[in-house]
Amino acid sequence: MRHTSTFERVLRGTAITLVILFFMFPIFWIFLMSFQTNETILRVPPSVVFQPTFSNYAALITGKLETAAGSLEINFMRNLWNSLFLSTASVAVGLLLGIPAAYAFGRLKFRGSEDIAFTLLSFRFAPPLLVLLPLTIYFQKLGLADTYFGLIWVYQLIVLPLILWIVRGYFEDIPADIEYAYRIAGHSWFATFRKVALPLAGPGIAAAGLLAFIFAWNNFIFALVLASADKQPVTVGALAFVTASGIQYGQVAAGIVLSILPTFALALYAQRYLVEGLSLGAVKG
Amino acid sequence: MSLKLTDIVKRFKTDTVLDGVSLEVADDETLVLFGPSGAGKTVLLRLIAGVFDPDEGTIVIDGYDMAGVEPEDRGIGMAFQNFALFPHMDAHANIAAPLTARRDTTTAIKTRVEEVAKLLKIDHVLDHKPKELSNGQKQRTALGRALAGEPSILLLDDPLRNVDAKLRFEMRLELPRLLREQRTTVIYVTQDYKEAMALGDRIAVLDHHGISQVGTPEEIYLTPRTTNIARLFGDPAINLLDVTPERGESGVHALLSGAQVPLDPGYSGLIGRDCILGVRPEAISFVDADAPGAFEVEIEAETPLNEKTVTLAATRRHREILISRPGGTPGPDHGTAHVAIDTGAVLLFDRATGARLERQPAQQVSQGESA
Amino acid sequence: MADIARPKPRKGFRISRGLLPYLLSLPALLACIGILVPFFTAVAYSLQRYRLSQPWARRWNWGENYLNFLSDSSFWNTLKVSLTYAFLTVGVELLLGLGIALLLQKRSRFNNFVSIMLLMPLMTAPALASLMWKLMTNPGFGILSYFASLIGLEDFRWASSPQTAMLTVVLVDVWVYTPFIMILLLAGLRSLPQQPFEAAALDGVPRLFVFWRITLPMLTPFLLTATLFRVIESIQQFDIIYAMTQGGPGDRLTVFQVEAYLNFFQSTNVGRSAALLMILWAITYFLSNVFIKNWLKLREKQRGDI
């Protein structure tokens, strides 16, 4: 080991402190704001000393916003529910479609399989509006405009490539002999897929599902273009909420906290797989 | 059940792995598929098992053409070289795999698994996952899985390759009995000639993408079809020396170290032809200088193994030969010595093709025989 | 050989071996074909004069939308703003991400904790991140506006001022996406073989030299993958900019997708919007081809080339 000088250690310590400060402060500050009333938020100079209040969260959860001008209906809970439903359903559909395809690409390898896999991957990189704008017109015609079904379908654009490429890697990592052994023992192709391939790729499937959920949850543009108020997830809803609530900054902050909490929790739970997911299965963490 | 392969060709992209393999295995026979690594043994097993399809040729099991028949419908049991156990199932479930496929009752499965486990002496670890098993236990579990379904054909892909020497020795003694008890057709792949000789009713030598000889262990050891096969069987390896048989006063002989080494009179048709003389190290013995057929060698090194002593010696023209004698028997370990070759054990191969040349018993020339 | 028979067919439904992979990937493909159709529609739109407000005037004008761009100053502005944004964000994120990765390189409980903590911005929806920064840069009560005033920048307007709007959105992008580069490079650094470093340490090679001649070259595949990935996403950035300023003030932040969105929904000029997106698509298509090549190499190396 090299000798590290005191100077170097101080330098490193300072650098890490600055990094943590920069990346953590906004979250910390918004978190504090969410427990404050407008009165304390608007103080100059700002201070971290205040009487915490849960009124912001209470207002969001009950859906009643008390303003000076009177009581206002807010639908933030609806947005939260939309986010949950859209993300869960998209991931479920994505897994249903993606796992068999990942198995076909990863294990069976067939003529054209690589081309198809790459085409699916390239969807991930195309500008989403390129697809979304014509789709608004199509969806009007098909009656899919502003439906959960239509949204879930479009969400496959982000969910499917992710699931496909992560799960494919896990299928590739299962030694082929293990599957051959099960077939030779007398089990059909499907039984082998269900009893051997699926359980062995289980961790990868779980990781892909969690990550796809996070990406779906954080998506903004799809719902902005295709969903009206009652189908909007939190990302779009929160933006509208800023305008609707006028100057109720504490509630906006509380809304943000509620919206980012689920992804933080999932990310913490799935941290082992984050690197793999973020690199679409290329780098193992 | 019987198995018949006809003109099997298998290519991977542009590599031809098997090029026209034909082979027949009789009911209840144990056939050893022997060959160096990369010869295509494992691929051949997989074709029989049905996980790969041949590009050309037919595979017939018990009279049925197997083209398009899925692996699960072929009635085959297979043990893999790397075991290929199901890592998420315990040993019991691993062995039970062929039985659950047939939807046997739970009790029937349990009985059969325990029976097999007892036979293989792994009944005490049935609730262990593969990663909790020792290498030997893994190997026995894999074998148990192959046997449990009482397959009509058992494919064993070098099952002793990945186990330690002691276990390999034990299993080599145990396997023949085990396989005989199964009363099933067995194809056993190995790279170890001793294993091949110990286990096989017949041995098929797979070499250079094709079968180069099929025969009983004795046939292959004593009358290998080519120098290549001769080299693959036997440890220490057979001595191969370039000779040109000549006619001498007492019949046919070859010149070694300036001495005339008598050859079987059946070889008299080969006089003047460029040959390779093959003689196994145990067919050379130290003799007195005036013994018939004796020639002089310079001892270079001696390696005492337990049951035998191997001597490396050189002829006058610096051609090295190996001499093997039973361990504990006296023999020179340095300087010059004289050796003689057991004439009956001498094989001659064509120098250009490496093919063994037959003796011709009809052409008896004279009575010149070594004492 | 006369007695070779076909085996008795098994009961039950069987799928032929050649067909199976196609059947398995078909549902996923069908779902995506639904997405390919709009793509071709967009190509058609881009070759039309098409305004939603004047549907009667819709007609093919072939390359006219593209040709118009040549003399269209707002198109050049869009291109300039998009490229500036991509260049600034990725440049800063790369330097910062590499720096942090090097700081956290050693595996220790503290370093792992910090690296997990730093992932939180990345897990924040970019649109919500913009909202957070909006609250912090509010001229009335924003903490960052207050900090600015402390260092003498009275009335620092952040995103609402044409001079600092770009800086503000770049800052948000850096806040969200630096952890992405950091975590990929960290994984890369930790996966490097140790022998060259040990040998260099034994020989007393200066650390700066080790960094330039050993660390960086070995890290290149990771750097390349992370950079390209980010460039592709950054040049398409919509969420952060739209949530922050909707492309304003004026046309300061009208990057490709924001401009296309506004063209479509505000000026209802479908043809121009589609043409803009086609140009963006051409850029990203080129970049993503380069990316996929690198990404695949990295994937094979990391997976031990199966």
Using one digit for the tens of pLDDT, what is the confidence trace for B306-346? 788 899 998 888 888 999 988 878 888 788 889 988 888 88
Work out the minimum CA distance from B325 to partner chain C, whole angstroms: 49
Of A40, A73, A106, which one is at a domain's C-terminal end? Answer: A73
Of A22, A46, A73, which one is at a domain's C-terminal end? Answer: A73
pLDDT higher than threshold 80 for residue C285: yes
Percent of chain C whose predicted confidence (pLDDT) is above 70: 94
Q: Is C282 on the interface with A (CB under 8 A)?
A: no
Number of H helices, E strands in chain C: 14, 2
Work out the minimum CA distance from C26 to partner chain B, whole angstroms: 23
In a domain, A1, yes or no: no
Contact C306, A106 (CB under 8 A): no
Work out the minimum CA distance from A70 to partner chain C, whole angstroms: 24
Q: Is B65 on the interface with C (CB under 8 A)?
A: yes
Residues spanned by the domain of A173: 76-278
Q: In whole angstroms, what is the distance from residue A170 CA to residue B214 CA?
A: 43
In a domain, A191, yes or no: yes
> By CA distance, what is B155's nearest residue in A?
A184
Q: In whole angstroms, what is the distance from residue C82 CA to residue C77 CA?
A: 8
pLDDT higher than threshold 70 for residue A46: yes
Domain harbouring A81, CATH code: 1.10.3720.10
pLDDT higher than threshold 80 for residue C148: yes
For residue B102, what are the contacts with CB-CB under 8 A and spacing of at least 6?
A: A186, B149
Contact A251, A59 (CB under 8 A): yes
Residue C150, pLDDT score: 85
For residue B284, what are the contacts with CB-CB under 8 A and spacing of at least 6?
A: B239, B321, B322, B323, B324, B339, B340, B341, B342
Work out the minimum CA distance from B68 to partner chain C, whole angstroms: 8
Residue B31, pLDDT score: 93
Q: In whole angstroms, what is the distance from residue C240 CA to residue C238 CA?
A: 6
A-chain CB neighbours of C256 within 8 Å are 127
Check CB contact under 8 Å for C24 and A239. no
Say if residue A184 is in the same domain as residue A255: yes
Q: Is C4 on the interface with B (CB under 8 A)?
A: yes
Q: Is B7 on the interface with C (CB under 8 A)?
A: no
Q: In whole angstroms, what is the distance from residue B112 CA to residue B118 CA?
A: 10
Cross-strand pairs, B341: B284
C-alpha dihedral (A221, A226, A231, A235), degrees to nearest 10: 10
Higher-confidence residue of A223 and B174: namely A223
Task: Say how far residue B26 (Cα) sits from the centre of its chain.
Answer: 18
pLDDT digit string, tens, across residues B106-145: 999 999 999 999 888 889 999 999 999 998 899 999 999 9
Check CB contact under 8 Å for C4 and B60. yes
Rg (CA), chain B: 25
**Peptide bond before B87: cis, by omega within 30 degrees of 0?**
no
A-chain CB neighbours of B76 within 8 Å are 184
Residue A146 pLDDT level (bands cut at 50, 70, 90): confident
| CB atoms closer than 10 angstroms to residue C140 | 10
Residue C306 pLDDT level (bands cut at 50, 70, 90): very low
Check CB contact under 8 Å for A20 and C256. no
pLDDT higher than threshold 90 for residue A93: yes
Higher-confidence residue of C155 and B224: namely B224
pLDDT digit string, tens, across residues B281-292: 999 989 888 888
Say if residue A82 is in the same domain as residue A59: no
Say if residue A139 is in the same domain as residue A201: yes
Say if residue A66 is in the same domain as residue A102: no
pLDDT higher than threshold 80 for residue A226: yes
Residue B194, pLDDT score: 87
**Peptide bond before C249: cis, by omega within 30 degrees of 0?**
yes
Number of compact structural domains in chain A: 2
Domains of chain C: 49-305 (1.10.3720.10)
Counting beta carbons within 10 angstroms of the beta carbon of residue B174, is it exposed (0 to 12), middle (13 to 18) or buried (19 or more)?
A: middle
Higher-confidence residue of A253 and C15: namely A253
Residue C13, pLDDT score: 54
Contact B304, B225 (CB under 8 A): no
Q: In whole angstroms, what is the distance from residue A98 CA to residue A159 CA?
A: 9
- What number is the ipTM of this complex? 0.90
Identify the residue whose tokens are 């006619």: B247
Say if residue A63 is in the same domain as residue A80: no
In a domain, A202, yes or no: yes
Cross-strand pairs, B11: B16
Closest CA to B41 of B253, B191, B203: B191
B-chain CB neighbours of A182 within 8 Å are 86, 97
Check CB contact under 8 Å for B65 and C10. no
Check CB contact under 8 Å for A181 and B49. no
Residue B264, pLDDT score: 85
Say if residue A89 is in the same domain as residue A220: yes
Percent of chain B whose predicted confidence (pLDDT) is above 90: 34
Say if residue A155 is in the same domain as residue A228: yes
pLDDT higher than threshold 60 for residue A86: yes
Q: Which of residues 22-41 of C touch A (CB under 8 A)?
A: 22, 24-25, 27-29, 31-32, 34-35, 37-39, 41
Q: A67: helix, coil or strand?
A: strand
Of A21, A51, A73, which one is at a domain's C-terminal end? Answer: A73
**B255 φ, ψ to 5°?**
-90, 120
pLDDT higher than threshold 70 for residue A167: yes
pLDDT higher than threshold 60 for residue B371: no
> By CA distance, what is A200's nearest residue in B?
B88
Contact B330, B309 (CB under 8 A): no
Residue B25 pLDDT level (bands cut at 50, 70, 90): very high
Residue A87, pLDDT score: 96
In a domain, A284, yes or no: no
Check CB contact under 8 Å for A189 and C260. no
Q: Is C3 on the interface with B (CB under 8 A)?
A: yes
Contact B4, B154 (CB under 8 A): no
A-chain CB neighbours of C287 within 8 Å are 125
Say if residue A24 is in the same domain as residue A126: no
A-chain CB neighbours of B113 within 8 Å are none
Helices (H), chain A: 6-33, 38-41, 55-62, 76-103, 113-123, 128-142, 148-173, 176-184, 189-192, 198-200, 202-218, 221-226, 234-245, 249-269, 271-278
Q: Is B66 on the interface with C (CB under 8 A)?
A: yes
